[in-house]
Amino acid sequence: MTKLLIIGSGGREHAIGIALKQSNKNTTLYFAPGNAGTALLGSNIAINATDINGLLSFAKESNIDMTIVGPEDPLVMGIVDTFQKENLTIFGPNKLAAQLEGSKKWAKQLMKNYNIPTANYHAFTDYEKAKDYIKANNQYPIVIKADGLAAGKGVTIATSQNEANNAIEECLLNKKFNDAGTEIIIEDFLEGDEASIFAFTDSKVILPMLAAQDHKAIGDGDTGPNTGGMGAYCPTPLVTPEMYKKVTETIFEPLLQAFQKEGITYKGIVYAGLMITKTGDISIVEFNVRFGDPETQVVLPLLKTDLLTIFEAIETETLANISLEWSTESAVCVVLASGGYPNAYQKGKPISGLTQKKENTAIIHAGTKQDNGNIVTSGGRVLGVVSKASQLDSAITQAYETTTNISFENMIYRTDIGQKAKRYQ
């Protein structure tokens, strides 16, 4: 029996758990801290994802065979280094490698040094110098980013000098993002459509996964404020086979070579957030060092190769022996969120409709918890309804059929997830 500890509490971690539970090897799953859905797959452990010492103690006491890190915070904090010092097997990049997500300036410099396509940028710690640059540059929209981790909220696309100045002020003067915003990146705005491609790497080879497309904005037609993601579908026709090859050759391979030349051992997941222009040019919007959410929920159901076998090959640096096999189906995830999200929202709302069973459809938990035998809301993004089918339209129909039978007070969701695929066909 292989004992696995999955760190995190969101939809991504539930989706990883489902994929690992389907492994050919017998597994016992633990989630820290997990949610009401992960409790159905294994045991939830009341340890926060950033409590590295608590997680280490649990892994040692419970003889965990492998720990899988879901979110970025513990990776950037150096959980992998801590576990490795104690000779514990852990899946994810070490602290040095995790700077790829932990510091936008560091990542930008790496891309520039190794000719990986990305937007032009300047870094600032001084408020007045940043303001002067905005005024002199006089190009809008322009993008202002906090250098460090800001839970996806540290990016402003400013359409005027006033808006840009406000964003700079929030970071550098008002310390809105604390230490994450003591330095900012100001970069050119890239126009086009976004796509996400994850890749597995064992530091020697890199194997890209299928391309997915996230729906960031809260409202239909990509309207309203950005969120952590209101849904996704996979694969996306935006990324043609030619483009996929181009991404591998101009982004993933050079990135792996960059790490090798810098003497950094990068093992785990690389998440490439891509911007694709109408003329087919590809640039990196950002790299992340873990699976994305909600894209994981649509990528992993299409993976036919045993996920645990892949994780073990990464640990032993034998990924070259693995050939990724994929289903030819399409998958869709519709996120159900709390009213008010991404701003203030209420928690503790009872959820109904979770027991329905439909073939090729799964209800992925994110912001849920058990309360006196009931499952209630406990986050902004509450659930993800995932369906797969031979055709994208069928997967979309199935997902929404299940969605309409789920309810909790003030539940919101987008009604157009996956529809943008029609633009590219």
Q: What is the percentage of the chain residues whose pLDDT exceeds 70?
A: 100
Token pair for residue 345? Answer: 């929202």
The conformation of residue 1, written as its DSSP 8-state character, comes to -
Residue 11: predicted pLDDT: 98
Flag whether pLDDT at 17 surpasses 90: yes
Residue 181 has pLDDT above 90, yes or no: no
The second-level CATH assignment, the architecture, of 2-92 is: 3-Layer(aba) Sandwich (3.40)
Number of neighbouring beta carbons within 10 Å of residue 94: 22
Domain range 193-321, CATH class:
alpha beta
The pLDDT, as a whole number, for residue 280 is: 86
What residue ranges do the domains of the chain occupy? 2-92, 126-182, 193-321, 330-424
The pLDDT tens digits for 359-409 are: 899 999 999 999 988 999 999 999 999 999 999 999 999 999 999 999 999
Q: What is the CATH number of domain 126-182?
A: 3.30.1490.20
Which region among 50-54, 118-122, 355-359 has the lowest average model confidence (pLDDT)? Answer: 355-359
Q: What is the pTM of this model?
A: 0.96
Side chain identity, residue 301: P
pLDDT in tens, 273-331: 999 988 889 999 999 999 999 999 999 999 999 999 999 999 999 999 999 999 999 99
Task: Give residue 67's pLDDT.
Answer: 98
Taking residues 61-73, report their average pLDDT.
98
Handedness of CA 10, 13, 17, 23 (dihedral sign): positive
Q: Count how many residues are written for the chain.
A: 425
The pLDDT of residue 297 is 98
Structural contact between residues 165 and 196, judged by C-beta atoms closer than 8 angstroms:
no
CATH topology of domain 330-424: Glycinamide Ribonucleotide Synthetase; Chain A, domain 4 (3.90.600)
Residue that the structure tokens 């090859």 belong to:
245
